[in-house]
Amino acid sequence: MKHNQLKPFPADFLWGGSTSAYQIEGAWNEDGKGPSVIDMAKGPEGTTDFKVASDHYHHYKEDIALLAEMGFKAYRFSIAWTRIYPNGAGELNQKGIEFYDNLINEIESQGIEPIVTMYHFDLPYALEQKGGWSNRETIDAFEVYAKTLFENFGDRVKYWLTINEQNMMILHGDAIGTVNPNLENPKKDLYQQNHHMLLAQAKAMSLCHQMLPSAKIGPAPNIVSIYPDSSNPEDIMAAQSYMAIRNWLYLDIAVFGRYNTTAWNFLEEKGYTPTILDGDMEVLQSGKPDFIAFNYYTSQTVGASKEDGTDVNHTGDQHITIGEPGIYKGVTNANLEKNEFGWEIDPIGFRNTLREIYDRYNLPLIVTENGLGAFDKLEEGDVVNDSYRIEFLRKHIEQMQLALTDGVEVFGFCPWSAIDLISTHQGCSKRYGFIFVNRGEFDLKDLRRIRKNSFYWYKELIATGGKSLN
């Protein structure tokens, strides 16, 4: 759809950036922090672990000052559950409360709106040992943890995100570490975990509304447009099915309190349906979000399943496979360019995604991740010329403005990542930030913070409320 005139970004638009605790903080066992599943996992060969990361735990003041210098209106970060409850439940760690108290105060004192993710992949290891999300006790532990966060930080935090990319933890449990390969039916177990996470999320949303009537809370899945490989009706049906299984399953429950019909049918067909106890559906119906946060990196394309052993494909990234025999087959989209890591780049898909989510749920949207991972180079004179990142973000923000002009209510943009941090699987050499952190995979160097060219570009963009785009 063409527009004669673009709508401007609202004056109170939340321009910002995102990080997550385990990828940025370091200090993995300091001040009483307990181990998370991430701390106990062995990463891919040749890449660093998350023990020091960007050492934000010790650099947070300097880091927040840099975000303020860029003009950030909002900063999305996550709280490490194991800093608050080292064993996931039970004894509270006052030092953990203190750290986030100081961090939030620092963010606020710089006039930045804190947006808190309550759980970003780093489940307490002690809970994992008792079955993790397969065990319903984890739902109770999450509820207590949520209550503690609301009690301690609710006076300053107005925006809460429940669970980061729950759909990725379920769909790619082999990559993110939620899958238990020793079980007879690991996928059925994943959908049981999913059901429990959905209950935990609904409980947290209800609790937030009871305890903090003026705060807002929402889920933060990874939602992307799904294209059919061709206009063949079989391909179109495959795309619809994948859309339901990948996207709507998660958001329909969060917003409408019910399982999506196509997705439920898929679970039945495959024998993955979770056990639903009396009262569960009431819990799911009672917790409602105020907005939808979502992460978008790339669209995905699927065709009809061939059931010939070729349905499950690696689509670019080494650790993510797409395909479900009998339902859809992951394919490459020949219309799209790829980044250095094989991820397809699709800014128009971003506009499509914003429109699809808004049309379906009619709730305000905030983009909590979008960005380009690249092997940035530090040049002489502390220069990082990341023009490719500027280009990527420019194209996506242009499409966001078009979506806004289409009528989509989007109130913030927090790309990944505010500062360099450790990638989920590709170490610290795969960088996303506006700020370079001077370290190598195994050589910590001086961890100096260096403004990249994208830092100055984003600063100008924020200062002009997006006008410098045009």
Does 241 interact with ligand BG6 (rule: CB under 6 A)?
no
Among residues 56, 430, 431, 449, the one that binds ligand BG6 under rule CB under 6 A: 430
| Closer of 67 and 168 to ligand BG6 (Cβ) | 168
Where does residue 405 rank: exposed (0-12), middle (13-18), buried (19+ CB within 10 A)? Answer: middle
Tell me how crowded residue 443 is: count the other CB atoms within 10 A of its CB.
8
Site size toward ligand BG6, by CB under 6 A: 15
| Closer of 36 and 426 to ligand BG6 (Cβ) | 426
Active-site residue 128, yes or no? no
Cα-atom radius of gyration of the chain, to the nearest Å?
21
Question: DSSP string covering 43-90, please?
Answer: --TTS--SSSTT-HHHHHHHHHHHHHHHT-SEEEEE--HHHHSTTSSS
**Closest CA relative to residue 358, chosen from 311, 405, 312:** 405
Does 416 interact with ligand BG6 (rule: CB under 6 A)?
yes
Cα separation, 358 vs 82, whole angstroms: 34
Where does residue 142 rank: exposed (0-12), middle (13-18), buried (19+ CB within 10 A)? Answer: buried
Cα separation, 251 vs 258, whole angstroms: 9
Among residues 147, 156, 425, 451, the one that binds ligand BG6 under rule CB under 6 A: 425
Active-site residue 165, yes or no? yes
Binding mask 370-409 for ligand BG6 (x = CB under 6 A): ---x------------------------------------
| Closer of 222 and 305 to ligand BG6 (Cβ) | 222
End-to-end CA distance of the chain: 18
Where does residue 116 rank: exposed (0-12), middle (13-18), buried (19+ CB within 10 A)? Answer: buried
Cα separation, 217 vs 236, whole angstroms: 34
State the catalytic residue, choosing from 165, 344, 356, 398.
165
| Closer of 93 and 426 to ligand BG6 (Cβ) | 426
Cα separation, 306 vs 323, whole angstroms: 10
Does 333 interact with ligand BG6 (rule: CB under 6 A)?
no
Site for ligand BG6 in 245-304 (CB under 6 A): 295
Site for ligand BG6 in 335-374 (CB under 6 A): 369, 373
| Closer of 19 and 260 to ligand BG6 (Cβ) | 19
**Residue 120 C-beta: closest distance to ligand BG6, Å:** 6
Q: Which range touches ligand BG6 (CB under 6 A), out of 46-54, 164-172, 187-195, 253-261?
A: 164-172
- Tokens representing 133? 């999300």
Nearest residue to ligand BG6 on Cβ basis: 423
**Residue 311 C-beta: closest distance to ligand BG6, Å:** 23
Q: Which range touches ligand BG6 (CB under 6 A), out of 8-16, 145-153, 357-365, 421-429?
A: 421-429
Does 164 interact with ligand BG6 (rule: CB under 6 A)?
yes
| Closer of 20 and 93 to ligand BG6 (Cβ) | 20
Q: Which range touches ligand BG6 (CB under 6 A), out of 161-169, 267-275, 279-287, 404-412?
A: 161-169
Cα separation, 245 vs 238, whole angstroms: 10
| Closer of 9 and 57 to ligand BG6 (Cβ) | 57
**Residue 426 C-beta: closest distance to ligand BG6, Å:** 6
**Residue 395 C-beta: closest distance to ligand BG6, Å:** 18
Handedness of CA 298, 302, 307, 309 (dihedral sign): negative
Say which residues have a Cβ less than 8 Å from residue 121's Cβ, sequence separation at least 6.
20, 22, 37, 38, 164, 165, 169, 176, 177, 424
Cite the DSSP H helix spans in 362-470.
387-406, 453-463
- Residue whose token pair is 């935090």: 157
**Residue 25 C-beta: closest distance to ligand BG6, Å:** 13
**Closest CA relative to residue 466, chosen from 104, 56, 173, 73:** 73
Partnered with residue 117 across adjacent β-strands are 78, 161
Among residues 70, 84, 116, 168, the one that binds ligand BG6 under rule CB under 6 A: 168
**Residue 121 C-beta: closest distance to ligand BG6, Å:** 6
Site for ligand BG6 in 13-52 (CB under 6 A): 20, 23
**Residue 375 C-beta: closest distance to ligand BG6, Å:** 12
Handedness of CA 58, 61, 64, 66 (dihedral sign): negative
| Closer of 165 and 346 to ligand BG6 (Cβ) | 165
**Residue 171 C-beta: closest distance to ligand BG6, Å:** 11
Binding mask 62-101 for ligand BG6 (x = CB under 6 A): ----------------------------------------
User: What is the torsion angle, in degrees rounded to the nearest 10, for the CA atoms of residue 456, residue 459, residue 463 and residue 466?
Assistant: 100
Residue 261 sits at the vertex; the CA angle it makes with 259 and 265, to the nearest 5 degrees, is 105
Catalytic positions are 165, 369
Instruction: Give the footprint of ligand BG6 on this chain (CB under 6 A).
Output: 20, 23, 164-165, 168, 222, 295, 369, 373, 416, 423-426, 430
